[in-house]
Amino acid sequence: MPRLASLSIILRRSADSDDQDVRSQRGDERHGMPTLSVLEVLRVAGAPVEIGDILHAVDSPMLHTVSLSVTVPDHDTDGWTRCASVLSVRFSTSLRTLHIECVRSGIVVPDRARPFAQYIKPLLTVRQLRECAITIEDPAGVALTNEDLDTMACSWSSLAILEVAFRGGRTTAPRPTITSLLAFAYRCPGLTTLRLPISQDLTSLRSEMARTSCSQGELRDLWVAGVSFSRKETELVTKFLLRIFPNIDLLPMVNAGVLHVN
């Protein structure tokens, strides 16, 4: 398939199959695999080992769009990291659009939420991302912090769209404060869509407002999940958001009960 430009694959395996056994049986078979040398778009869903094989078969400097849905079993807990590392090492200069979904098994659950940094650290070298959507289903929960948002904004300053969503897991897992959105206002001037889970904490908002200068960012579509601000809180939050994102449309969050206006 020397001229194949777009490929979509769903890989299904039996629930009791062991990826480590499969890897040992294959040995060096990868050396004889065909390569996809002009691929531009790749969509693949499955277990880490199979997805890794597909990624290694792509040898295209034109790969600009990747959509991965990785199902991580308990016996291969670092499977997601391996897949993400292959992407960052081999396609860091060509990737522009990245949609990733990581679904972890719920059989063995850690005592605390996993850090979000573990999921994105391998991808931070993909500097030219324009669109990134991250969905994580983790029964342990995912701890997202202000520092995580700052890291993404610094690493992916060319972003136009960023969406982060979590499914399942502990509802008490840490979330960033609304003031952390400043990182995107200052470092991602071309951002037009931003969707994130945040915390209800507004402790530092008033003091941050006093130090915050107005931004001329392009952001129009903003969604913050996991919160519902009172009327009094909405007044402060709205002033802050319009100060850093003057072009945003707040009506969807008003209609959904995230913001409450008089």
**Cα–Cα–Cα angle for 250, 252, 255, nearest 5°?**
110
pLDDT confidence band for 77 (50 / 70 / 90): confident
H-helix segments, 92-145:
116-120
Q: Output DSSP code: residue 106.
A: S
Which domains, and CATH codes, for the chain?
6-174 (3.80.10)
- Is the distance from CB of 240 to CB of 198 less than 8 angstroms? no
Q: Is residue 229 predicted with pLDDT exceeding 70?
A: yes
Residue 16 confidence (pLDDT): 45
pLDDT confidence band for 170 (50 / 70 / 90): confident
- Is the distance from CB of 184 to CB of 153 less than 8 angstroms? yes
Q: Is residue 31 predicted with pLDDT exceeding 70?
A: no
Q: Is residue 91 predicted with pLDDT exceeding 60?
A: yes
For 128, residues 6+ apart whose C-beta sits below 8 A from its C-beta are 93, 95, 96, 158
Q: Is residue 40 predicted with pLDDT exceeding 70?
A: yes
Q: Which structure tokens are listed for 136?
A: 């994580």
Q: Which structure tokens are listed for 99?
A: 């949609």
Q: Is residue 73 predicted with pLDDT exceeding 80?
A: yes
The arithmetic mean of pLDDT across residues 56-79, rounded, is: 93
- Is the distance from CB of 135 to CB of 167 less than 8 angstroms? yes
pLDDT digits (tens, 9 = 90+) for 204-216: 898 888 888 887 7
Percent over 70 (pLDDT), the chain: 91
Total-model pTM: 0.90
pLDDT confidence band for 36 (50 / 70 / 90): confident
What SS3 state is found at 80?
helix
pLDDT confidence band for 19 (50 / 70 / 90): low
The arithmetic mean of pLDDT across residues 172-179, rounded, is: 95
Q: Is residue 25 predicted with pLDDT exceeding 50?
A: no
pLDDT confidence band for 15 (50 / 70 / 90): very low
